[in-house]
Chains A and B, each alone.
Chain A
Amino acid sequence: MTEEIIIAGFGGQGVLSMGQILCYSGVMQGKEVSWMPSYGPEMRGGTANCTAIISDDAISSPVLTKYDTAIVLNQPSLDKFESSVKPGGLLIYEENGMTRKPQRKDINIFSIAAYDESVKMNNTKVFNMIVIGGFLKVRPILELENVIKGLKKVLPERYHHLVPLNEDAIHKGMGIIKQEHTIE
């Protein structure tokens, strides 16, 4: 198993930490992982993205141009990465603020209203955990218990009381993700 993922969105949406949580969860499950952020001026207020790779085997390139999965959380990211999904791959997008829907017919497309859900949960900070939940529902490559372990590694200890809330968010995400398009 090798899953090559690009996660992209605005800075502040938790894009980079989503990748880190997935990778740390991979470590907990005994996988090989790599996480590579975009860095530089674009970090400051613009769009941010990271490549997360989780694999049973040693990972060659940490930077890629084609991905098994693209998780895009804003319009510019959808515009940039829709074409980068491998044929037969997966695209997950956040509905909020999207003015143009994905067009590809040769990939599986899911949407997730993670922002609305986080508002309902009264905590927009768990937005990215809802998205992770949606992703894991479609691609169950990691066991939930390992994701929780990974989360505990990424979160500073003083925030560990928030772990149950985050776990709840993962479950919410698993429940609300919707298939928009299935490969013909």
Chain B
Amino acid sequence: MKELRLMKGNEALAEAAIRAGADAYFGYPITPQSEVIEYLMMENPADRTGMQVLQAESEVAAINMVYGAAGCGKRAMTSSSSPGISLKMEGISYLAGAELPCLVVNVVRAGPGLGTIQPSQSDYFQAVKGGGHGDYKMIVLAPATVQESVDYVKLGFDLAFKYRTPVMILSDGIIGQMMEKVELFEQQPRLTEAPDWATVGKKPGRDSVIVTSLQLQSEEQEKVNLRLQAKYREIEKNEIMYETHQCDDAEYLMVAFGSCARISRKAMEMAREKGIKVGLFRPQTLYPYPYEALNKLADKVKGVLCVEMNAGQMVEDVRLAVNGKTRVEHFGRFGGMIPSPEEILNALEQKIIGG
């Protein structure tokens, strides 16, 4: 029987981690995501599934604990918010380089610096364009509901292991703090067999397993890079996810992800009431980005408004996708300010319809 609960985004995500059969969580408190580790500590998953939970001394330590556990072939994860994610970027680059699977959750708050603890989407570039050093990519899932926060934990671990790569859930203060109805999936078993790339102790007759991102010879490092790039092309071919709302008859299009897509949807409903034919395109994966689908939609519309809680980040990908077919404008609030549906509608009318 399906289990319906009213849960906070952060807590639902933590429960989903236990149910996804995660082996270990390593974290460090930071607003607005501390509920994740608080929930796990309260729930004591060691008793339920054997999952280990540890409050590390820093975000840096936490991501490196993830590295150690992931190197053992285990489902390991961490979560944080923007300033903490910046600290984890070194570790994420190493995980990508050593081709280790893991799940990283960023409940984004506004920056730069300490910024504010209020919601934001200003870590888009950091998440999808790199963040850490070196030529790597991270699969980035952007939930817009508490339900998706739950579902993406399971999906995230699956993708991480399918491609041996870090996966990020790019949430924000709204999704993390709000409560919604969620249907929790059933408890998944923890992994029982270790993959052959995992350090589990050297067995007689096989070479020792080495988990590393270091190649001192350029020829060897280039081979690693080519292998990573081939993997990223596979991901781009197979894993794109997006949602469209009322795009069939749309004359105008809004593009938004995460919580901003929710608010934009309200703006769309208000616009439709006024007779404005506007649709909404919501990427669910920010990497890989749904360039092609958005490019096709651009054929049919007179203008595209990209709505974000930042100064204009995803709009660069929207422009790449639209590729000059129609005008693309950006509307954003930032610094922790949340755009209202009215403001978005107004921006649509001023920048796109009237513009």
Contacts and interface: CB of A to CB of B under 8 A. Distances in A.
- Report A-B touching, CB under 8 Å: yes
B6 A20 contact: yes
B158 interface: no
B174 A40 contact: no
Given A27-B6, A60-B269, A63-B338, A39 B262 contact: no
Interface in B250-307: 259, 262-263, 265-269
A63 B4 contact: no
A36 interface: yes
Interface size range on A against B: 20 to 34
A24 B6 contact: yes
Nearest to B179: A35
Contacts of B174: 36, 62-63
Given A20-B6, A39-B173, A40-B31, A62 B178 contact: yes
B181 interface: yes
A103 interface: no
Interface string A57-77: 001111111100000000000
Contacts, number: 69
Interface string B85-116: 00000000000000000000000000000001
B177 A37 contact: yes
A32 B4 CA distance: 12
Contacts of B58: none
B317 interface: no
Contact of A39 (B32, B179, B265): B32
Nearest to A153: B6
Nearest to A34: B180
B262 A61 contact: yes
A155 B56 CA distance: 32
B31 A66 contact: no
A33 B265 contact: no
Contacts of B259: 62-63
A142 to B, nearest CB: 14
A23 B117 CA distance: 25
A36 B177 contact: yes
Closest 10 CB pairs between A and B? A61-B266, A60-B265, A35-B179, A60-B266, A65-B340, A61-B263, A36-B178, A24-B6, A62-B178, A61-B262
Given A39-B31, A39-B177, A63-B263, 13 more contacts: A23-B6, A27-B4, A35-B178, A35-B179, A36-B174, A36-B177, A40-B31, A40-B117, A40-B118, A61-B263, A62-B178, A62-B180, A63-B174
